[in-house]
Amino acid sequence: MLEMIMALSAVLGKYSDLVVVSALLVINAVLSFMQESRAAGVVAALRKRLQVNARVRRDSSWQVIPAGSWSPATSFACDLGTSSRRT
């Protein structure tokens, strides 16, 4: 939309409007980039803090391990309604 206004301002010779709209477009782009990078940092921090654990049976005993470290031969327990972190 702003690009269309810039084009029309240039065609009609309204250079003051062109400068104002160009400045608004640049400011909008900078603010959007900053917000996106901040949001990406927050998502990365949340993923770092979130660790999914699994309750598995290894060597005849039940253990709680990180979910990514179990193998296909490992037995695991699924309890209904268990959504809290176990320690």
CB 29 within 8 A of CB 44: no
Longest alpha-carbon distance in the chain: 82
Q: What tens digit of pLDDT does each residue of 14-70 get?
A: 999 999 999 999 999 999 999 999 999 999 888 888 877 777 777 778 888 777 776
Question: 3-state class of 64 per DSSP?
Answer: strand
At 54 the pLDDT is 76
